[in-house]
Every structure is written in structure tokens, then in C-alpha cells.
Structure 1
Amino acid sequence: MENDPILSSLLGEVKGAIIHGYADVKVKNIILDSRKVLPGSLFVALRGTQVDGHQFINTATELGATAILCEELPESVREDITYIQVDGSAAAMGLVAAAFYGHPSKKVKLVGVTGTNGKTSVATFLFQLFRALGYRSGLLSTVQNQIEDEVIPSTHTTPDAVALNALLAQMAASNCSHVFMEVSSHSVTQHRITGLHFAGGIFTNITHDHLDFHKTFDNYIKAKKGFFDALPKSAFALVNIDDRRGTVMVQNTKARIETYSLQTLASFKGKIISDTLAGMHMDINNQEVWFRVIGRFNAYNLLAVYGAAVLLGEKEEAVLTELSNLKSPPGRFEQFHSADHIVGIVDYAHTPDALENVLETITHLRQGNEQVVTVVGCGGNRDAEKRPKMAEIACRYSNRVILTSDNPRFEDPMDILDQMRKGVPPLDYKKTTVIEDRHEAILKAGIEAEPGDIILIAGKGHENYQDVKGVKHHFDDKEVLMEVFAKRAGN
């Protein structure tokens, strides 16, 4: 960075910090990985789920770190190093990172979207909408981070606080006026968003997910709620009140509370008039609009986007006009059609609720005797409780089900599939097949389908890899589906 800031100028909002050494040293960068430390670095010792950064303080100082942010001092303290001792390194790092990059979140209108399902769609729709309305915009999402047309690959739903502020600074420097980001429950708990200034927050819904990390559903709810608790008075908090925990999310917020609903009176009220594979006709606040995206879950997403745009000061008519032209983000109910009229749908649905939403939508869209074939798996090293539920839901809505591998990570794929199989009702044994190889599973679904059938490939959506024992192998559901369609066409 040009004009490296002085350490003391970065600590203004960090409460209770004890400084050992000189606070007027310059900070060249903020580093979490001791192996990347350079002369002049501020090294942050974080306590992670796998590794404790405090073990690497001496490595960082040997590589030239001039300052250390930590919760405990090392046994041997060097006089030429400044140590900042705090109660929580993660929270302090968020505040320090924001100050280091000049508080970029205050230079844009930053809107966060949280919930179990719909985060990516809502954030992406907002990004597309505001670009269409003429604003330079930024996107921080599971699929990708984007500054206007420049795509920056994404590895987490929410980056760490340093990377996040660096991205926001880049967006502000590119004259973005609005930034839309997914806010994961992990990012709240791990203080990745601490120090950011939000213009608004959106709550989509909440169902069981990430219990591998949060341990209990109550902890998961508290993590989501923590985002709204921290919103400033100047922000808006827009919540889906058809979700019974919508009001819980905002019971302690200082932000202005607004609501959206398909079922009851709300600030932004919607009604589905018709829903087909071609599009969806809705009434929103007494205005009828036709949308390209389909499904009840997308009706909620559109309401959230419409509400947020109006709360950000946009005119209702202009918002609805541009919204009617938007398409679904990659891997979100993404449709493909074969030459012999098979419909393939690729969707990221990897929770029971998301899978049920997608399959319910497909059920409503069926017009005759089309068969629904669902190919689905569950990720390894994640919430195992949902595995039998996912299989049961797939069986309930489908004519045929193929259980297959997703991202097994460090688990045995067959162990995951055995757990899924426990959710298959006895009456559905005959229509359920287990094929560990995902490529084979999709091929089987596609080759055996009849014209008019609908194939749902669920769980990975936009992902173009399969995570096996820590290695990401190239794998794209859409590519395999296209291979199937080409074989059917005789190409």
C-alpha cells in the first residue's frame, strides 16, 4: 500500500487493547498465514478450528513482522516487536482491517443477505438489477465475486476480514456505488464482517444447515440474528415474515424494520398469479409483472430484491421493469432442454428445505404424465442429520431417484450414501438406485429418460469441481448433462 498507515491509527475502534512496545510503527500489510509474512507485516494470531495461530508468532517475527495482534503473549517477547493483546483476535482483526483499507464499506452502499436458502439468488439479482439501473456495482457471493464485468473467483461464502476489506476497497476505487454480499452464519460467528458498515440487511429464511459447525439449531439462529443485532440505526432490516423466525431475527436490531410476504400483510406483498416453465406472473404491491424466473422460492427472492431496491431509494416502476428481464444465477434452477424435449434442471439445493422447494416447484409445473427423475447426494464432513431427510424428500416428489456422491471430502462416499438410504421409505425401495459415481448417475438418468421427462440434478449447482480427500477434481453437472443430451441426439 502507498503511504503505509501507522499502527496506532488502526486501533481506534479496538476496545481494551494492551500495547506492548511502540504504537507508531508502520504497517505494510495484515497477514493471517505466518508463511506469507513480509518485513513490516502485522501478523494476526487467530484461534482456528484446526490450527492456533499463536503457535506461529515466532515464525512471523523471524520473517520480519513488526507487530503481532494476539490474545496471549508468547513466552519470549522481543523488544523490537510491537504486540497488541486483545480479548478476541478475530473481532479486533475486522476492525483493524477496515481501518487499514480506509473503511471502504462506508464509501459504498453495502447490503448483506443472510438466510439458509436464497442468499446467492437475492445478492446476484440485486447486483444485476442495480447495474441495469445504471449503477456501478459489486457482488460478493458463493458463486463469484464481481466488480462490474470483472470476475474474481470465490472460495468461501464470505472471505476473511482482510480479504473482504481489500475487495471492498477495490470496489470503492472502481467507483462502485453499491455492493451486495452474502452473509454466512460462519462469517458472523468468526467476525469476518466485524467492522463493516451496512446500509441494509435482508433475511430470506432459516432451516437446518451447518450443524457440523454450529452444533445446535439455536446457535445457528443466534449467528444469523447477530448480523441484524449489529446493524446501525441508519440501515434497513428487510425480513421474510412468512418464515416464523423472521420477527426473531430483528427483535433486537436498531435498524428500520421492513417486511415482505406472499401470505400476509407486509411492506412488500406479493401474489403468484401463474407459474410455468416459461416464466412467472406475479402481483407485487398491486402491480402485475411477468418474470423470466420461476418457482415459489424465486417469488420470495424477487420480493426481497424489489423491497431492498425501493428501500435504497429506487422508483418502484423502474425496479419492476428491470426485474422482469433478469435470469437466474448459474446453478440456481438452471434449465436445459434436449432435442427430444427432456428438461434438465441443475440446482444448488443441498439442504432438505431447498430440495423440497425445487421439487415442489417442479411438481406444480408438470402438465401431464412427465416423470421426474432426481439425482442427489450429500456433502461429506458436513451436517449428517440432513442425509436421510434429503433422500426421503427426493422419494416423495420423484418417480425415480438416483442417490450419488456429492463432495465426499474426507468421508467414504458409500458411508454417506448408506446414511441417505436410511431415509428411503420401504415403499420407495424399487424406484431408488444408488450409484456412487456421479458421472454414471447423471448418464443413467439422462439415457433412461423419456421425451417430456424432467431430470433434476441437485446439490452442486454452479460448482465445477468434486472435492475428494482435499483435492478438487474438475466436475460440472451441466457438462455431463450436455454430454447426455448430445448422446441422445446421436452426436
Structure 2
Amino acid sequence: MKILKDILYKVPMEAVIGNTGLTVSSIHFDSRKVEFNDVFVAVKGTVSDGHQFITTAVNQGALAVICQEMPKQIVNGVTYVQVANSQRALAIMAANYYDSPSENLKLVGVTGTNGKTTVATLLYHLFSKAGFKVGLLSTVNIMVGEKTYAASHTTPDSLTINSYLKLMNDEGVEYCFMEVSSHGIAQDRTTGLKFAGGIFTNLSHDHLDYHKTFAEYRDVKKLFFDQLPASAFALINADDKNGAVMLQNTKAEKQTYALKTYADFNAKILENQFSGLLLKINGDEVWSKLIGNFNAYNILAIYAAGSLLGLEKLENLRLISELNSVSGRFQYVVSDKKITAIVDYAHTPDALKNVLETINAIRTKNEELITVVGCGGDRDKTKRPKMGNIAAALSSKVIFTSDNPRTEDPEEILKDVEAGVDALDFKKTMTVVNRNQAIKTACQLANPNDIILIAGKGHETYQEVNGVRSDFDDYKIVNEYLSQLEK
């Protein structure tokens, strides 16, 4: 139970009707969850407007309503607080309700188009191996020490974030590493949190269905660094031209990492094989089980973050050499027939290009590279032909297939993908709408020493069609088909 005025601390209020000295139970922005004595925050979302459900929330027992527009019907005994931005108010209220949990640990946010999950997850494992109690908020899962919780969004809503941070406080967690998505920043889900550091991985084509322009997408990412306190560090990839933009207005300590240009933390790739990477980081060599140029950046980012958070250099390097790849990120298996299957989350043009170029740099060219890829429905359509073009140009054979079509017709999605294929590459492509069948076809086409890349879904263990999620695990399915070939 909390006093309403305490929950509203630091929330800019435009008008108040009623008593803010009320004792309330919980905060909700979903009217279906409201019970007696609760606070309902009416949020204007992309799909629905919470203001339409104020009456429902009050009828279910809400004692207070936080809104951007006062309702026409005011109910006696209910307190109404008008604010300029309900989402921002919700985030500040969530932090207040859970006693500002981000202030009681070192919270580091990771943002960028690609690499967020890998960097955040590897940092979780790095600091766990170093003997600390660590938390993780990621696309794949949420970790509180050794306990795992299911994740539903890259960046959860502000109530969920603060509830888990509070749980981390209760469990004695010292560090938390968190993926920070552009949606999360734009929707104020991270407002009210105190960050000890921010990491920028890279920026490329993604989420333009939501942000409309690349400049808007970039500037939303920048906003995260603008809001970092002077006590934090801002660590950016200096090889990405957008890295410098992130640092323009930050008050945080500016730090850089790079493979190609001068930076505070530099690395050079000495060996790049399917068995791993040999890197020289700031003059010291380290072997990693991770594969590819893009993972060289990820490793350098976690080394830099570890250093900035106080890990001793040699311990940092030793622990990095023990880290394994993240689920669904360049996760591979080699069959008895020497067919290599790689499952990767690459769902943007830049990520797909990185993975394909990594494979092509390692393979001998005596084997074929068969790529299985598609694009999700109800998402940025402009990247679809780019994905098709990259897949066809950098593969020996390509099978275009469904990803998560959601409410779109999968055949129409694949027509968009096929539209980007160059005429000379078209003969290398085929379309198999059913993803299970597409993976099976790739396995049947593969000869010993060939490589199969299954891109787009990575760690996901479902496929979403017309609002229904069915069990679907790329890694599990390709293993089953490769095993059948060996019988």
C-alpha cells in the first residue's frame, strides 16, 4: 500500500480533482487488471487509447485515474490527475512505487540495431563468472541471479522493469544489464531509471514501420544517451558513423571502442574460424568461442564495459575466453555427414549481411551455403527487398520462407522479399512458404561440408500466424532433419 502523492513524486501535474492523500494498492495501465483501491493510468498506445477504459477501471474499483485528458464524467470519491504525458508519468510512478530500485544497483543499458541481446547477455555471464550477483533484462529472458523468467518484449513496460529491479534489490543483485529498444525509449519505458552506463552497438535499417524515418530512429536512440547522468559512462562503437551522434549532448563520461579507427578500446582480429576468434584487445591476446567480425565488436564492447565497471584486465580477458554464444545468435551444429547448420536471429538487412559475410569469410568455397530466410509480417516492409537481395547475392542457394507472418498473407510478404533479388541471382532462389518444409528442403539439398543458415527467428520458439503462436524452434527442427539424413 502506498500514498498516492508519494507515487506522484516528480510527476508534472496539470490539474488535480480530488484527494492525493489516498492510500492505494497497485498501479495498472491495463483496465482489465484493475481492482479495488488501484490506480489506473490511461495511456495512449499505438493500438488503443486507455482513456476509453477510464469508466471501466473506475467501475472495477480504481480510486485514482491518471490521464492526459479529463473524462467528461467525474465520479465522487475518485481522484483524477491530468498530466501532459501518461506514459512518462507511468514510468516515474512505477519507479516511485517500487522505491527507485535502479538506484540500488548498477544498471547498464545496451542499445543499437544489432547486438543488444548478445552484449547484454554476455555481460550478465561475464559478471556472474566474476562472482557477482547479476540481473538481466533481455529479449530472450529475464534473469534475477540464477532464476529465469520469461520475456515478452525487448524492453518491458515500466511497471514490469521496476518490479524486476525491485526483485533484484531483494535478492542482492549488484549489476543489471538491460536491452534498451528504440520503442522502449520512445514510449518512456526507461524514464525514471538511473543508469550507471549506456552502450551503443550500431545503427542500421530497422523499425521504420514505427519511426517512419531513419533520422527519427537514430534520434530516439540518441535520447537515451542524452538522459544519462554525469556519473554514468556512454560507450559507443566509433566505427559506426552514428556513434558520434550518440555522444553529442550526453553528460556521461564518453568512451569509445572500435576495430577500424582509433578508440579508447581497440581490437584486431588475428584469426577467424568456425571454432572461434583470436583477438588482440588493447595489446593483449584473447581467444573467444564466438565467431565472426560482428562478434569481435560484441566481445570488445563487453571487455570495455567490464573495464569501465571495474573488472581487472587479466580477469576480464580470462572470463571472456570462457563465454559461450547466446541462444539463437550464430548457434550451430555439425551433423555426422559434416553438414553445418547455423541458426541466427538476423532479421535486418545489416545483420543478415554480417552473418553471411562472416560465413563466406570462413568457408573454403568448395561447399555451398544454403540460406533459409523470410521477413516478419506487420513490420517494416521497406527492408524486405533488401533482405532478399542480400540473401541471394551472398548465398549459393536461397529458400525464401515464412518468418512470423502475423496478420499478413505470407505469400504477399515473400513477393516483397523476392522483388529485391537481382535477375542474375534469381536462379539461385526458391520459395517454400511453410517454414518447417523449407528447413527440411535445405537439409535435403545439402551435401557433406555444405553450410545451412536459418535466419530471422534465432532464439524464438514459436511462429505467430493470425494472432496464434504455435511451437516452432529452428534449432530443434534442423537438428531433427539432419538426424534423419544420418539414418
**TM-score category, normalised to shorter length:** over 0.9
1:85 match: secondary structure: strand
- Which 5+ residue runs of structure 2 have no aligned equivalent? none
1:25 alignment partner, one of 22, 25, 40: 22
* Residues in 2 aligned to 1:463 and 1:314: alpha-carbon distance in whole angstroms: 32
Letter paired with 1:439:
N
Letter paired with 2:168:
M
Note if 1:97 corresponds to 2:94.
Answer: yes
CA apart distance, 1:213: 0.6
Q: Percent identity?
A: 51
Moved over 4 A (4+): none
* Residues in 2 aligned to 1:11 and 1:448: alpha-carbon distance in whole angstroms: 62
1:430 match: secondary structure: helix
* Residues in 2 aligned to 1:372 and 1:78: alpha-carbon distance in whole angstroms: 66
Which residue in 2 is equivalent to 1:338? 335
Which residue in 1 is equivalent to 2:116? 119
2:275 alignment partner, one of 275, 278, 291: 278
* Residues in 2 aligned to 1:18 and 1:299: alpha-carbon distance in whole angstroms: 52
2:36 alignment partner, one of 23, 34, 39: 39
Which residue in 1 is equivalent to 2:168? 171
Q: Is the 8 A contact 2:127 2:134 kept in 1?
A: yes
2:244 alignment partner, one of 247, 254, 258: 247
2:427 match: secondary structure: coil
* Residues in 1 aligned to 2:147 and 2:412: alpha-carbon distance in whole angstroms: 41
Letter paired with 1:79:
N
Letter paired with 1:215:
K
CA apart distance, 1:35: 1.3
Which residue in 1 is equivalent to 2:143? 146
1:351 alignment partner, one of 348, 352, 367: 348
1:248-280: CA deviation from partner (whole Å, max 9, x where unpaired): 011011101000000111111000001000110
* Residues in 2 aligned to 1:181 and 1:343: alpha-carbon distance in whole angstroms: 32
CA apart distance, 1:222: 1.0
* Residues in 2 aligned to 1:308 and 1:15: alpha-carbon distance in whole angstroms: 34
Note if 1:426 corresponds to 2:423.
Answer: yes
**Equivalences, count:** 487
Q: Is the 8 A contact 2:182 2:221 kept in 1?
A: yes
Which residue in 1 is equivalent to 2:395? 398
CA apart distance, 1:19: 2.1
CA apart distance, 1:246: 0.2
**1:405-484 pair list within 5 angstroms:** 405-484=402-481
CA apart distance, 1:368: 4.4
1:268-311: CA deviation from partner (whole Å, max 9, x where unpaired): 10000010001100000000111110100000001111111111
1:50-89: CA deviation from partner (whole Å, max 9, x where unpaired): 1110011111111111111111111011220111110000
* Residues in 2 aligned to 1:29 and 1:488: alpha-carbon distance in whole angstroms: 55
CA apart distance, 1:425: 1.0
2:197 alignment partner, one of 189, 196, 200: 200
* Residues in 2 aligned to 1:447 and 1:149: alpha-carbon distance in whole angstroms: 40
CA apart distance, 1:149: 1.9
Letter paired with 1:266:
A
CA apart distance, 1:17: 4.2
1:158-183: CA deviation from partner (whole Å, max 9, x where unpaired): 11011111011111111000000000
2:224 alignment partner, one of 214, 223, 227: 227
Q: Is the 8 A contact 2:13 2:81 kept in 1?
A: no
Letter paired with 1:279:
G
1:100-122: CA deviation from partner (whole Å, max 9, x where unpaired): 00000001100000000000000
Compute the TM-score of the two structures, normalised by the length of structure 1: 0.98
**1:5-20 pair list within 5 angstroms:** 5-20=2-17
2:149 match: secondary structure: strand
* Residues in 1 aligned to 2:391 and 2:364: alpha-carbon distance in whole angstroms: 20
Letter paired with 2:414:
L
* Residues in 2 aligned to 1:417 and 1:198: alpha-carbon distance in whole angstroms: 41
2:231 match: secondary structure: coil
CA apart distance, 1:33: 1.0
Note if 1:66 corresponds to 2:63.
Answer: yes
* Residues in 1 aligned to 2:154 and 2:139: alpha-carbon distance in whole angstroms: 4
Letter paired with 1:245:
N
CA apart distance, 1:443: 0.4
- Which 5+ residue runs of structure 1 have no aligned equivalent? none
* Residues in 2 aligned to 1:274 and 1:314: alpha-carbon distance in whole angstroms: 25
* Residues in 2 aligned to 1:83 and 1:111: alpha-carbon distance in whole angstroms: 35
Compute the TM-score of the two structures, normalised by the length of structure 2: 0.99
CA apart distance, 1:16: 3.5
**1:48-59 pair list within 5 angstroms:** 48-59=45-56
Note if 1:157 corresponds to 2:154.
Answer: yes
* Residues in 2 aligned to 1:361 and 1:115: alpha-carbon distance in whole angstroms: 20
1:369-411: CA deviation from partner (whole Å, max 9, x where unpaired): 0110000000001010111110110111110000000000000
* Residues in 1 aligned to 2:365 and 2:335: alpha-carbon distance in whole angstroms: 18
